[in-house]
Amino acid sequence: MSPESASASAFQPQEFRRREGGEETCILFNRAVFPVAHEIPFDANAITGQYTMTGSAAGRGTTLFFHGEDRDLVLRHYRRGGLVARLSEDAYLWRGLRATRAVREWQLLVWMRARGLPVPEPVAVRVQRRGGWYRADIITVRIRHTETFMDLLAADGLPAARWAAVGATIGRFHAAGVFHADLNAANILLDAEGGVYLIDFDRARRRRPRRHWQQANLRRLRRSLDKAAAQGKLRFAESDWQALVAAWQGAVARG
């Protein structure tokens, strides 16, 4: 059994709810990793008090990396982007628990892993509701020994075979009906053995497989690469991109 399969087989989902004052908290978690809901570290203070912080990454918000329960873990707080962030950087309109971004991402990750797609293992999500608004966090297992597609291209570039591997992997997701809302070079991870993974499925969703959105999703990746190249952050040849597209087409066709 592969490490991915072994991890998936150990998945033990659990739900915990608590109401204190005017705030209601719901936590979905894998008790195979964290047996007790109230011990899950959903903020930096809890991490430093119980576990070893191993790093951070800046983006729309700060993503924290830490080691605990014999795993490398990732904590991400859901934050808004764009102009709406000026009104509230992390509060979202409440439309029910199952409609929250955290729970939708959790459910999608569970679904994808059950189908063998290369994504992070979900560990826990927390949704805190107060009135008509909520805030949320998610913890996933960090995929070890990987670098982003962006960083690898910025360093030495990649051979056509690695571009093809990226295209084939994206094709698998598209064939399964997974639309990645932020498909860019920073959300694709590669390891030294040729493995390719997608991360950050906030706002991602399942759709009926159709070429129009699949191609639009792929064009989004191309725009991110062109933008980075225009800024001098990386270089690539058109033949590299064509290797990716050809492999993507093959994977989508195979379904």
Residues with catalytic roles = 182
Task: DSSP for 61-79, please give it.
Answer: SEEEEEEETTEEEEEEE--
Amino acid at 44: A
Residue 13 to residue 110: CA distance in whole angstroms:
10
Q: Is the C-alpha dihedral spanning 200, 204, 207, 210 positive or negative?
A: negative
With H, G, I as helix, E, B as strand and everything else as coil, classify residue 53: strand
- Hunting for tokens 């360093």 — which residue is that? 155
- Hunting for tokens 């759709």 — which residue is that? 207
For residue 241, give both structure tokens.
């991109």
Residue 85 to residue 91: CA distance in whole angstroms:
9
Amino acid at 212: H
CA distances from 130 to 51, 149, 185 (A): 29, 39, 36
Helix or strand holding residue 52 (H, E): strand 52-58
Residue 36 to residue 59: CA distance in whole angstroms:
30
Strand partners of residue 135: 128
Amino acid at 89: E
On whether the CB atoms of residues 28 and 137 are closer than 8 A, the answer is no
